[in-house]
Structure 1
Amino acid sequence: MAFYSLWAGVCVAAADAAYLFLECSSITVKMHKSDTMVEVDVTDDGIGISADDIAHIFEARYQASNKKSDSQLHAGLGLAICQKLTSLLGAKLSVKSRLGEGTTFSFALKASD
């Protein structure tokens, strides 16, 4: 049960980051479970993340610049914590994004019995 609580926390944190920073109207969490793996994608339809920012978004205290969040104070820890949690679970958190098209955060974990 702790395993599922941790990955659920990663999903919630990624969705929260999308809501706070990426001006999206929709956030979708998809999970696919096979016999050996659980694959999770958190996708938004927001403004996307630039390639320059993607290179740094998993660094603690880093905040991508965008018009919605520039006026708000945030710690910049959410995605760094997500990356650490997925690492502790034996997975890697990855990101795909295109400006103007949205962002997807993904990770795959070994399925537990």
Structure 2
Amino acid sequence: MSIRTDSREGMPFVQADIALIERVLENLLDNALRHTPEGGMVTVSLSSGDLKMTVRVADSGRGISQKDLPYIFDRFYRGEDNQSETSEGAGLGLAIAKRILEIHGSRIEVVSALGAGTTFTFDLPLSGH
């Protein structure tokens, strides 16, 4: 598996609690790594504009079914593919990430398709704005 970062030098600072945003990234990366098969790709990309920084965490994993998508940010929710006793996680990571971003005045969006991977996107305000 490969992890790639995509950002340019000289990115502006954001207005955020770094420890909480680290937690968001840890949760998103943990999910991406857990659900991306050997030989897959996880990409973290940053872009700035319009007084905000956009963060994307994308993977080439198995994706999330359309019937599970509306519920993935609910506490303790685990999709049908993650119900086995051997699967890791309590179903809290995405709920925590969503709440942290709400505290920062942001929201998290997801685009996913089975067999095609998943992309999570959120924005943070640039420092001084």
Q: Into which bin does the TM-score normalised by the smaller protein fall?
A: 0.7 to 0.9
SS in 1 for 2:44: strand
Q: 1:5 to 1:35 in 2, by over 3 A?
A: farther
Over aligned residues, Cα RMSD in angstroms? 1.9
1:18-97 alignment, distance < 5 Å: 18-20=32-34, 22-24=35-37, 25-34=40-49, 36-66=51-81, 70=84, 71-97=86-112
The separation in 2 between residues aligned to 1:65 and 1:16, in whole angstroms, is 18
The separation in 2 between residues aligned to 1:97 and 1:42, in whole angstroms, is 12
**Aligned-pair identity (%):** 34
Larger radius of gyration: 2
Deviations 1:6-60 (A, max 9, x none): 223212211101222x234221111112361010000000011011110100000
The separation in 2 between residues aligned to 1:75 and 1:55, in whole angstroms, is 18
Partner amino acid, structure 2, of 1:76? G
The separation in 2 between residues aligned to 1:83 and 1:36, in whole angstroms, is 21
TM-score (norm 1): 0.87
Structure 2 unaligned spans of 5+: 1-14
Which stretches of structure 1, 4 residues or longer, exceed 4 Å deviation after superposition? none
The total of aligned residue pairs comes to 111
SS in 1 for 2:61: coil
The separation in 2 between residues aligned to 1:44 and 1:66, in whole angstroms, is 17
Partner amino acid, structure 1, of 2:29? A
Identify which of 28, 33, 51 aligns with 1:14: 28
Q: 1:8 to 1:35 in 2, by over 3 A?
A: farther
